[in-house]
Amino acid sequence: MNELPKTAVVTGASRGIGKCIAETLGALGYQVYITYVSKPAEAEAVAEAIRAGGAKALAFRLNVADAEAVAGFFADEIKDKVRLDLLVNNAGITQDGFLIRMRDEDFDKVLGVDLKGAFTCLREAAKIMVRQRFGRIVNISSVVGQMGNAGQSNYSAAKAGLIGLTKAAAKELASRGVTVNAVAPGFIETDMTLALSEDIRGQYLEHIPLKRFGAPEDVAEAVAFLASDKAGYITGQVLAVNGGMYC
């Protein structure tokens, strides 16, 4: 098994934090399988950048909210074909709105991708990792899963649920050599935060002791650490990457 290349699956990796995670893992020598939903050109560009750096990379269209599609992906592309060392559950969406006006479908859609989608990917990856008796799973949660955020009851619930899922899965899988941890980013410089007005950005910065937004690389390096041998005795934990921002 050791002669096979290390393989990482990173969901939602066509841009932003997921893109940076995928490229960081590629630079560390992982064969990277990235998934996307609606941006094939951007996903392929990420894969090409990884290949240009000397690692292998492939992009796959996968809606993590579709449990049948997820099971098919792991059965057709992963099982008995590669050594699955790492799953990074990064895929996520937002559908913001105040809770008294939030539609059921907006709540369900966010939980379907951000929480159930992560669960489904984790379940299918775990089946493979348990047989290998080795694996690393890192779930990308959020500071709002720890402290809440007005207008994001669905997203906050999903990211808080992801922390609970992380801790439960860690207990179940530890005896098979599989660790499960979460990274909880704070406000990171992405397309979403760049679109905020200066006033709103200033309000957020007031609550960040380091007085700056994080970079996608900050999150990617945290993921890389949890995937490494140096983190072999760490499981069921939430690594906050938020500049000191807590509730």
- Per-residue pLDDT for 3 more than 90? no
- Per-residue pLDDT for 197 more than 50? yes
User: What does 32-96 look like in DSSP terms, one character per residue?
Assistant: EEEEESS-HHHHHHHHHHHHHTTS-EEEEE--TT-HHHHHHHIIIIITTTSEEEEEEE-------
Q: Quick one: pLDDT band at residue 2, thresholds 50, 70, 90?
A: low
Q: 6-188+217-231 falls under which CATH superfamily? A: NAD(P)-binding Rossmann-like Domain (3.40.50.720)
Residue, of 200 and 182, whose pLDDT is higher = 182
**What is the mean predicted confidence (pLDDT) over 115-127?**
98
155 is catalytic: yes
Which position among 36, 155, 233, 246 bears the catalytic label?
155
Sheet arrangement for strand 238-241:
57-61, 31-36, 6-10, 83-89, 135-140, 178-185, 238-241
Q: Which residues of 73-177 form beta strands (DSSP E)?
A: 83-89, 135-140
Report the distance separating Cα 87 and Cα 10, nearest Å.
6
Task: Give the predicted TM-score (pTM) of the model.
Answer: 0.95
Report the distance separating Cα 206 and Cα 210, nearest Å.
9
* Domain boundary assignment for the chain: 6-188+217-231
Q: Are 140 and 123 in contact (CB under 8 A)?
A: no
- Per-residue pLDDT for 12 more than 90? yes
